[in-house]
Structure 1
Amino acid sequence: MRSNHGICSPQTFITIASIVFILSIAAPAIGTLAPGDCVDFESLTPGTVYNVSDSFADSGVIISAQPFQWAGGAWTSAGSSEVQTLNLSGGTGLDLAVNNITLDFDFGRDVEGLRLLFGEYGGNINLTINGDFRNESNFPTLHGQIVGGTLVEVFMSPAGFGVIRITGVVSSFSVGGQELWIDDVCDSEPALDCVEFEDHPYPQSFSYGQFFIDSGVIIELGEFFWFPTGSTIAGSCNVDTFQISGGAGQDVNSNNINLKFDFGCMYGRLDLHYTNLGGNINVSVNGALANVGNMTDLHL
Structure 2
Amino acid sequence: MNRTTITTLLTTTGCLATTVLAAPPTWEDLPLGSAFATGDNTTSDGVDVNFDCFEWSSGGAFCGGEATVEGQIPGCNSGQRIQLNNINAVFDYAGSLGVQDDPIFTFGEYGGNINLAINGDFINFTDFVDIDGIPLGGCVVKVLAGGDGNDCGRVQFVGTVEKLLVGGQEFWWDGTPDCDIAFEDLTLGAVYPAVSTFVADGVPVTIRELIPPAGPPIAGDAIVGDAGYACGVGHELNLDNSRASFQFLAGPGPVNDLTMEFGEYGGFINVSINGDLRVVANFKDLDGATVGGTTISIPTGGLGGDCGEMQVSGIINEFEVGGQELWIDCLRFEADPNGGGGDECENAHVDHSDLPSAGFWSPGDTLSTGGVDVTIRNFMSSVGPLSGNAVTSSSQLACGDDLELATYNTRATYDFAGSIGALANVTVLVSDQGGEVNLGINGVGTWARDYADLDGTVYDGVTMTVESGGRDGDCTVLFLQGTVENLTLGGQQHFIDCIWAEDIMPPQTRGDFNGDGCVDSSDVGILLGLWGTADGDLNGDGTTDSADFGTLLGNWGC
Q: Same fold (TM over 0.5)?
A: yes
Match 1:261 to one of 301, 314, 328: 328
Residue number in structure 2 paired with 1:175 = 166
Instruction: Kindly indicate whether the alpha-carbon contact (under 8 Å) linking 1:67 and 1:102 is maintained by their aligned counterparts in 2.
Output: yes
Aligned pair 1:160/2:228, yes or no? Answer: no
Secondary structure of 1:175 counterpart: strand
Residue number in structure 1 paired with 2:40 = 54
Counterpart-to-counterpart distance in 2, 1:54 and 1:203: 34
> Relative to 1, partners in 2 of residues 1:110 and 1:86: Cα closer, same or farther, differing over 3 Å?
closer
Secondary structure of 1:173 counterpart: strand
Match 1:149 to one of 129, 138, 141: 138
Q: Comparing both chains, which one has the higher relative contact order based on Cα–Cα distances under 8 Å and sequence gaps of 6 or more?
A: 1
1:35-70 per-position Cα deviation (integer Å, ceiling 9, x unaligned):
xx6311001111121100010111100111111101
Secondary structure of 2:115 counterpart: strand
Instruction: Kindly indicate whether the alpha-carbon contact (under 8 Å) linking 1:241 and 1:250 is maintained by their aligned counterparts in 2.
Output: no
Superposition deviation, residue 127 in structure 1: 0.5
Match 1:137 to one of 120, 126, 137: 126
Counterpart-to-counterpart distance in 1, 2:75 and 2:48: 21
Residue number in structure 2 paired with 1:282 = none
Within-5 A mapping of 1:93-242? 93-107=79-93, 108=96, 109-157=98-146, 160-185=151-176, 192=184, 194=200, 214=260, 218-224=261-267, 232-233=281-282, 235-236=285-286
Counterpart-to-counterpart distance in 1, 2:37 and 2:130: 27
Counterpart-to-counterpart distance in 1, 2:158 and 2:104: 9
Residue number in structure 1 paired with 2:59 = 73
Gaps of 5+ in 2: 1-15, 186-199, 204-245, 249-254, 270-279, 295-315, 331-558
Instruction: Kindly indicate whether the alpha-carbon contact (under 8 Å) linking 1:156 and 1:162 is maintained by their aligned counterparts in 2.
Output: yes
> Relative to 1, partners in 2 of residues 1:257 and 1:66: Cα closer, same or farther, differing over 3 Å?
farther
> Relative to 1, partners in 2 of residues 1:164 and 1:203: Cα closer, same or farther, differing over 3 Å?
closer
Number of residue pairs the alignment of both structures matches: 212
Task: Give the residue type in structure 2 aligned to 1:163.
Answer: R
Secondary structure of 1:141 counterpart: helix
Two-structure CA RMSD over aligned residues (Å): 4.0
Instruction: Kindly indicate whether the alpha-carbon contact (under 8 Å) linking 2:17 and 2:102 is maintained by their aligned counterparts in 1.
Output: no
Counterpart-to-counterpart distance in 2, 1:88 and 1:180: 16
Task: Give the residue type in structure 2 aligned to 1:139.
Answer: F
Instruction: Kindly indicate whether the alpha-carbon contact (under 8 Å) linking 2:20 and 2:102 is maintained by their aligned counterparts in 1.
Output: no
Match 1:63 to one of 38, 49, 54: 49
1:70-126 per-position Cα deviation (integer Å, ceiling 9, x unaligned):
111011001111111142781122111110000001113322221100010001000
Secondary structure of 2:175 counterpart: strand
Counterpart-to-counterpart distance in 1, 2:72 and 2:329: 27
Superposition deviation, residue 222 in structure 1: 4.5
Counterpart-to-counterpart distance in 2, 1:64 and 1:173: 11
Residue number in structure 2 paired with 1:23 = none
Instruction: Kindly indicate whether the alpha-carbon contact (under 8 Å) linking 1:203 and 1:240 is maintained by their aligned counterparts in 2.
Output: no
Counterpart-to-counterpart distance in 2, 1:106 and 1:253: 39
Task: Give the residue type in structure 1 aligned to 2:68.
Answer: E
> Relative to 1, partners in 2 of residues 1:262 and 1:92: Cα closer, same or farther, differing over 3 Å?
closer
Counterpart-to-counterpart distance in 1, 2:133 and 2:177: 19
TM-score (norm 2): 0.33
Superposition deviation, residue 252 in structure 1: 3.2
> Relative to 1, partners in 2 of residues 1:203 and 1:114: Cα closer, same or farther, differing over 3 Å?
closer
1:174-198 per-position Cα deviation (integer Å, ceiling 9, x unaligned):
111100111125689x784548689
Aligned pair 1:39/2:25, yes or no? Answer: yes
Secondary structure of 2:116 counterpart: strand
Task: Give the residue type in structure 1 aligned to 2:263.
Answer: E
Counterpart-to-counterpart distance in 2, 1:48 and 1:98: 12
> Relative to 1, partners in 2 of residues 1:185 and 1:251: Cα closer, same or farther, differing over 3 Å?
closer
Looking at CA atoms only, which structure, 1 or 2, has the larger radius of gyration? Answer: 2
Secondary structure of 1:73 counterpart: coil
Instruction: Kindly indicate whether the alpha-carbon contact (under 8 Å) linking 1:89 and 1:183 is maintained by their aligned counterparts in 2.
Output: no
Within-5 A mapping of 1:78-93? 78-87=64-73, 90-93=76-79
TM-score (norm 1): 0.59
Task: Give the residue type in structure 1 aligned to 2:159.
Answer: G
Residue number in structure 2 paired with 1:269 = none
Instruction: Kindly indicate whether the alpha-carbon contact (under 8 Å) linking 1:202 and 1:241 is maintained by their aligned counterparts in 2.
Output: no
Task: Give the residue type in structure 1 aligned to 2:152.
Answer: F
Superposition deviation, residue 260 in structure 1: 3.0
Counterpart-to-counterpart distance in 1, 2:163 and 2:173: 17
Task: Give the residue type in structure 2 aligned to 1:132.
Answer: D
Secondary structure of 2:51 counterpart: strand
Counterpart-to-counterpart distance in 2, 1:187 and 1:128: 24
Task: Give the residue type in structure 2 aligned to 1:220.
Answer: G
Task: Give the residue type in structure 1 aligned to 2:58.
Answer: G
Residue number in structure 1 paired with 2:319 = 251
Gaps of 5+ in 1: 1-7, 11-28, 205-212, 243-247, 264-300
Secondary structure of 1:38 counterpart: coil
| Identity score, percent | 27
Task: Give the residue type in structure 2 aligned to 1:219.
Answer: F
Counterpart-to-counterpart distance in 2, 1:166 and 1:176: 16
> Relative to 1, partners in 2 of residues 1:175 and 1:203: Cα closer, same or farther, differing over 3 Å?
closer
Instruction: Kindly indicate whether the alpha-carbon contact (under 8 Å) linking 1:101 and 1:178 is maintained by their aligned counterparts in 2.
Output: yes
